[in-house]
Structure 1
Amino acid sequence: MEQKIMYSDTQCAKNIDAVEDALYVLGGKWKLRIVIALISGHNRFNELQRIIKGISARVLSNELKQLELNGLAKRVVQADKTPVVVEYVPTEYAETLKDVVAALADWGQKHKKKITSHE
C-alpha cells in the first residue's frame, strides 16, 4: 500500500506558491517544449521550429526572448562564420530542469497508458 504524503497547511500553501512560480516561467503551450528541445541539443532557430510542430517563427522568437529573460536560454551569435550563425543554448539553470522533464515525461507515458487501457 502506498504511503500517503500529508502536508501542513503552511507547506501546502508554500508548494502551491512554488508551483505557480514555476508555471509562470514554464507555462503556456510552447515554453516547456522549447526548453526540452534546447536541452536535447536542438540549438538553431529553424531546427527548433522544425522539431516543435506547429510553432510559428514569430511565436518561437517571442518565447525564446522570454526564456532568455528568465535565464533558461542564451542567444549566441557566431559572427566569425559566414553566414553568421545564431544559436540558442540552454543555460546551466535550464539543465536543472532535466530531472523535472524526465519525471513529467514518465508520468505522461503512464497516464496515457492508463487512460487508453480501458481499466
Structure 2
Amino acid sequence: MDVTIVTQEVQHAPTEDRRSCDAVNSVLNRVGDKWSVLLVMSLAHGPCRFNELKRRIDGISQRMLTLTLRGLERDGLVKRTVFATVPPRVDYELTPLGHSLRKPIEALGNWAFDHYECIVAARAEFDAKL
C-alpha cells in the first residue's frame, strides 16, 4: 500500500474512530503517569491517610500528591472519606473501579522488574554506539 494512501486514510478516519482514540488517550493519560501508578499500588493494600501516602511514595511533592489524588477521585478510581474529628481525618482508598486497575498495573510492574536488567543492558549498548 502506498504511504500517501495510508496517510489519507488516517486523515479521513471516521469521527467515531477519533472519539475512540480520544477516549483511550484520556484514560491512559490518567492511569499511565508514574504518580497514579504508584498511588494505585500503595492503595491496593487498603485505605491510607495523605501523610502516609506521602511517606510511602518517595519523591512526590505535596502538591503533586494532591493533584494526582484529585484526578484519580474525579475519574472514579479513588474514594476520599473525611471523618469529623479534630483535627479532621481524611482517608483515601481504591473504589471497585480502582481495584480493577490493580491487575494491569501489577502485571506492568512485574514485567518491569523481570526485564529491568535487559533494558539497562540495551540502554548501555545503545549509548555506547553514540
Q: Shorter-normalised TM-score: what interval?
A: 0.7 to 0.9
Q: CA deviation at 1:91?
A: 0.5
Structure 1 runs of 4+ with >4 Å offset: none
Distance 1:56 1:77, change over 3 A: same
Q: CA deviation at 1:106?
A: 1.5
Structure of larger gyration radius: 2
Please, which of 88, 100, 103 is the counterpart of residue 104 of structure 2? 100
Identity of aligned residues (%): 38
Contact 2:49–2:92 (CA under 8 A) maintained in structure 1:
yes
Q: Which amino acid aligns with 2:101?
A: L
Normalising by structure 2, we get a TM-score of 0.68
Q: CA deviation at 1:23?
A: 1.4
List gaps (5 residues or longer) in structure 1. 1-12
Q: Name the counterpart of 2:117.
A: 113
Please, which of 50, 56, 77 is the counterpart of residue 82 of structure 2? 77
Normalising by structure 1, we get a TM-score of 0.74
List gaps (5 residues or longer) in structure 2. 1-16, 123-130
Q: CA deviation at 1:38?
A: 1.2
Q: Which amino acid aligns with 1:96?
A: S
Count, aligned residues: 104
